[in-house]
Structure 1
Amino acid sequence: MWLPDRRTFLVSLAALAGCGFTPVYGPQGGGSKLLNAVALEAPDDRYDYDFNKRFEERLGRGSGPYALKVDFELGTTGLGSLADGQTTRYRLSGRASYALTPVGSEDVLIVGRTDSFTSYSATGSTAATQAAERDARRRLMVILADRVIDRLLIDADTLPE
């Protein structure tokens, strides 16, 4: 049975310190520059709202020095089918292209693109399939929000003071 000891912990900590690791929200990390500092566009639909909600849960509601522009591309593909050709499972893929700019400026500070996917079953009733699709779209927007935030936090130390 493996039991952790202090020596292993201290050696691991020393290795992280030696490689230049700094916590993103630590004193030298850039993540604190983004907390409550990123303004989002008003949502156009339910899924933009889900993205904004998740973004604000993690970084706070911002009216600060930065604005985030996000464009989404969503697509649906049938995955499984029965012998009669009826599709039983759908893959919902999404791509978020984002640009972080200073408020009131067109200068781009951080730009990027991320994508992900989720899926849902279409074997139930029509109402169940529609509910599954709505849930899959909500989950996809949460995943995309998390990925955009992670990418922003990685590059946050490049932002001006």
Structure 2
Amino acid sequence: MSSFDRRTLLILPLALAACGFQPVYAPDGTASALDGKVRVSAPNSVETYLLVQNLEQRLGRSAKAGGEYDLKVRLTTNTQRLAVSTANETNRYNIIGRVNYSLQRSATGEVLASGAVDNFVGYSAAGSTVETLADERDAKERLMVILADQVVTRLYSTLDLPA
């Protein structure tokens, strides 16, 4: 006989509610509280433009000129050589990205959340110059998607805002 009891599935939502679990995308969740109310800082490079674009896709673009919240992001990237041949030719690169972020109330400047996320992507440099440049551009786009996802996940998981 199996020790699994279906009644435990009925008790599980109660247990999660008791521990303070609240779905992010519920009507009163954090996603609803931030949706369309966050103004992301202006980009100053191609990479930050891609990051801001991805953040706005996930958080919703602020309908108001001011926005209720300001999300300030600072992006740094670093390219590292990998897979260097005996002829000192690089066949692979890693791009390491780090985003420092701070979410503030627009009216008061109160910091609601801040932190940093980092990740990396790799690309091949073994082909022609055109292939390598296309691979690098694609890798930067992928990195900005990953970093934007991480920032939004951190905001959703750490904030406790009323909808």
Range of TM-score over shorter length = 0.7 to 0.9
Conserved in 1, the CA contact under 8 Å of 2:77 and 2:95?
yes
Q: In structure 1, what is the Cα distance between the partners aligned to 2:26 and 2:150?
A: 20
What residue is the counterpart of 1:30 in the other structure?
30
Q: Does the alignment pair 1:83 with 2:93?
A: no
Superposition deviation, residue 33 in structure 1: 1.2
Q: Are residues 131 and 8 of structure 1, via their aligned partners in 2, closer, same or farther at CA, if it must alter by over 3 Å?
A: farther
Q: Are residues 22 and 160 of structure 1, via their aligned partners in 2, closer, same or farther at CA, if it must alter by over 3 Å?
A: closer
Kindly provide the amino acid, as one letter, of the partner of residue 159 in structure 2. A
Q: Does the alignment pair 1:108 with 2:98?
A: no
Kindly provide the amino acid, as one letter, of the partner of residue 71 in structure 1. R
Conserved in 2, the CA contact under 8 Å of 1:39 and 1:66?
yes
Q: TM-score, normalised by structure 1?
A: 0.85
Superposition deviation, residue 12 in structure 1: 4.6
RMSD, aligned α-carbons: 2.2
Q: In structure 1, what is the Cα distance between the partners aligned to 2:11 and 2:154?
A: 29
Q: TM-score, normalised by structure 2?
A: 0.84
Q: In structure 1, what is the Cα distance between the partners aligned to 2:134 and 2:19?
A: 47
**Which consecutive residues of structure 2, in runs of 5 or more, have no partner in the other structure?**
none
Report Cα offsets for 1:58-80 as digits up to 9, x if no partner: 11101421011100111011111
Conserved in 1, the CA contact under 8 Å of 2:29 and 2:162?
no
Q: Are residues 108 and 136 of structure 1, via their aligned partners in 2, closer, same or farther at CA, if it must alter by over 3 Å?
A: same
Matches within 5 A, 1:9-88: 9-10=9-10, 12-62=12-62, 63=64, 64-88=67-91
Superposition deviation, residue 44 in structure 1: 1.7
**Which consecutive residues of structure 1, in runs of 5 or more, have no partner in the other structure?**
none
Q: Percent identity?
A: 46
Per mean C-alpha deviation after superposition, the further-off stretch among 101-110 and 130-139 is 101-110
Superposition deviation, residue 150 in structure 1: 0.6
Q: Are residues 40 and 81 of structure 1, via their aligned partners in 2, closer, same or farther at CA, if it must alter by over 3 Å?
A: same
Kindly provide the amino acid, as one letter, of the partner of residue 127 in structure 2. G
Per mean C-alpha deviation after superposition, the further-off stretch among 84-93 and 12-21 is 12-21
Match of 2:125 among 119, 122, 136: 122
Q: In structure 1, what is the Cα distance between the partners aligned to 2:141 and 2:30?
A: 29
